[in-house]
Amino acid sequence: MFACNRRLGVGGLSRSAIHISSVGGISRGFSVKVCRACEDPPCADVCPTQAMKRRDGGGVKFHQDICTKCGSCMNACILGAITWDNENNVPIVCIYCGICARYCPYQVIELEDISGEM
């Protein structure tokens, strides 16, 4: 989560596209909320300006410059994986940059090309 947030050059967790929380301590495990790269992403379907656009292989590309900040994408995400950046008033969604995988000290995060085109 820290690596994801640092992609923007800031510390903390406020802009992380990955959200990990405990579901009852170490013995019960953790919950991870992150974009699962839907093949037909509902967030892209509801975006009035195509700021959230389907990405080949699943997921979305986010074009902040044409985002109208309507929040429809966040409401349409069935996983709750899109959050809101209150400081910049735009959605936060994983763009598959790979920073999290590069900086994971335990190598449990991996970007995998399952379509043959990454």
116 has a pLDDT exceeding 70: no
Helix (H) or strand (E) holding 54: strand 52-54
45-93, pLDDT tens digit by residue?
Answer: 999 999 999 998 888 999 999 999 999 999 999 999 999 999 999 999 9
15 has a pLDDT exceeding 60: yes
Burial class, 105, CB count within 10 angstroms (exposed 0-12 / middle 13-18 / buried 19+): exposed
Structural domains of the chain, count: 1
Q: Does 114 reside within a domain?
A: no
Q: Does 76 reside within a domain?
A: yes
Residue-level pLDDT at 105: 86
96 has a pLDDT exceeding 70: yes
Q: Does 108 reside within a domain?
A: no
Q: Specify the pTM.
A: 0.84
Extract the tokens encoding 7: 């992609």
Is residue 53 within 8 A of residue 60, CB to CB? The reply is yes
Where in the sequence is the domain holding 51, given as residue range(s)?
2-103
CATH number for position 35: 3.30.70.20
Give the strand pairing for 83-85 and 90-92. Answer: antiparallel
117 has a pLDDT exceeding 60: no
